[in-house]
Structure 1
Amino acid sequence: MNYLALGWMLIVVATATWVLSNVLIVLFSPLLRRASTPRTRGHLWVMASLPWVLPLLVIVTLLFLALAKSQGWIHHHCETHLAHHPHFCLEHLPTFALHLSGSLSGMFIVMCSFCLIVVRSVPIWQLQAKSRTFQRLVQGKSLRNTLDDERPLAFALGGWKPSIFISKGLRELLSPKEMRIVVSHEVAHVRHKDVNKNALFEMLLTLHAFPRLLRSSWNLTSELRADRYVAQKFDALEVADVLLKLRRATTHSPFPTSIHGGQLSERIDALIHDKHSRRSPISIHLIYFFLMVFPCLIVFSHHSLETLLGWLI
Structure 2
Amino acid sequence: MSRRWCPALWTISIPRAMTDLLIYLLENLVAAVILVALASLLAALFYPLFRRASPAVGAEGRALLIWLYGLSPALVATVSVLLLQLPAVTGGLIPGHCHGSTCGAHTPQFGLASPAGTSLMLLSLTLVAVGLGLIQRNQQRARRRLYAMQLLSKSEPGRFWRLVDSDEAGAWCAGYLRPQIFVTRGLMAALAPEQVQAVLLHEWAHLQRRDNLRTLLLQWASALWPASVKRMLWQDLQLATEQACDLAAARQAGTGAQLIAAVERLAASRPCTPPAGETGHHTQSAAIAQRVRQLQFLAPPTAFATESWLMISALGAGQIIALPVVAHIAIEWLTL
TM-score category, normalised to shorter length: 0.7 to 0.9
**Which residue is 1:273 aligned to?**
297
Mapped partners of 1:166, 1:97: distance in 2? 55
Mapped partners of 2:77, 2:102: distance in 1? 22
Does the alignment pair 1:145 with 2:162? Answer: yes
Following TM superposition, by how much is the alpha carbon of 1:182 offset from its aligned partner in structure 2, in angstroms? 1.6
**Which residue is 2:37 aligned to?**
19
**Which residue is 2:184 aligned to?**
167
Identity rate, percent: 16
Mapped partners of 1:185, 1:154: distance in 2? 10
Following TM superposition, by how much is the alpha carbon of 1:27 offset from its aligned partner in structure 2, in angstroms? 3.4
Provide closer, same or farther for how the CA distance between residues 275 and 109 of structure 1 changes in structure 2, counting only shifts above 3 A. Answer: farther
Mapped partners of 1:159, 1:82: distance in 2? 49
Aligned length in residues? 296
- What TM-score do the two structures reach when normalised by structure 1? 0.74
Instruction: Please tell me the residue identity of whatever aligns with 1:221.
Output: A
Map residues 165-204 of structure 1 onto 2, 5 A cutoff.
165-204=182-221
**Which residue is 1:240 aligned to?**
260
Q: What is the DSSP-based 3-state SS (H/G/I as helix, E as strand, rest coil) of the residue aligned with 2:182?
A: strand
Out of 51, 57, 62, the position equivalent to 2:79 is 57
Following TM superposition, by how much is the alpha carbon of 1:111 offset from its aligned partner in structure 2, in angstroms? 0.7
Assess if the C-alpha contact under 8 Å between 1:5 and 1:98 holds in 2.
Answer: no
Q: Which moved more, 1:137-146 or 1:38-47?
A: 137-146
Q: Which blocks of at least 5 consecutive residues in structure 1 are unaligned?
A: 253-259
Does the alignment pair 1:212 with 2:231? Answer: yes
Q: What is the DSSP-based 3-state SS (H/G/I as helix, E as strand, rest coil) of the residue aligned with 2:162?
A: strand
Mapped partners of 1:305, 1:115: distance in 2? 23
Mapped partners of 2:93, 2:211: distance in 1? 50
The CA RMSD over aligned residues, in Å, is 4.1
Mapped partners of 2:302, 2:70: distance in 1? 22
Following TM superposition, by how much is the alpha carbon of 1:166 offset from its aligned partner in structure 2, in angstroms? 1.8
Provide closer, same or farther for how the CA distance between residues 155 and 8 of structure 1 changes in structure 2, counting only shifts above 3 A. Answer: closer
Mapped partners of 1:85, 1:311: distance in 2? 16
Following TM superposition, by how much is the alpha carbon of 1:131 offset from its aligned partner in structure 2, in angstroms? 1.4
- What TM-score do the two structures reach when normalised by structure 2? 0.70
**Which residue is 2:276 aligned to?**
none
Q: Deviations over 1:132-184 (max 9, x none)?
A: 33224434454233211121111122455543222122222212222222222
**Which residue is 1:99 aligned to?**
114
Mapped partners of 1:201, 1:97: distance in 2? 31
**Which residue is 1:37 aligned to?**
59
Q: Which blocks of at least 5 consecutive residues in structure 2 are unaligned?
A: 1-18, 273-283
Does the alignment pair 1:122 with 2:137? Answer: yes
Provide closer, same or farther for how the CA distance between residues 156 and 13 of structure 1 changes in structure 2, counting only shifts above 3 A. Answer: closer
Assess if the C-alpha contact under 8 Å between 1:147 and 1:165 holds in 2.
Answer: yes
Mapped partners of 2:165, 2:51: distance in 1? 38
Following TM superposition, by how much is the alpha carbon of 1:251 offset from its aligned partner in structure 2, in angstroms? 6.2
Following TM superposition, by how much is the alpha carbon of 1:109 offset from its aligned partner in structure 2, in angstroms? 2.6
Q: What is the DSSP-based 3-state SS (H/G/I as helix, E as strand, rest coil) of the residue aligned with 1:239?
A: helix
Q: What is the DSSP-based 3-state SS (H/G/I as helix, E as strand, rest coil) of the residue aligned with 2:85?
A: helix
Q: What is the DSSP-based 3-state SS (H/G/I as helix, E as strand, rest coil) of the residue aligned with 2:86?
A: helix
Mapped partners of 2:118, 2:206: distance in 1? 48
**Which residue is 2:149 aligned to?**
134
Assess if the C-alpha contact under 8 Å between 2:34 and 2:327 holds in 1.
Answer: no
Following TM superposition, by how much is the alpha carbon of 1:225 offset from its aligned partner in structure 2, in angstroms? 1.8
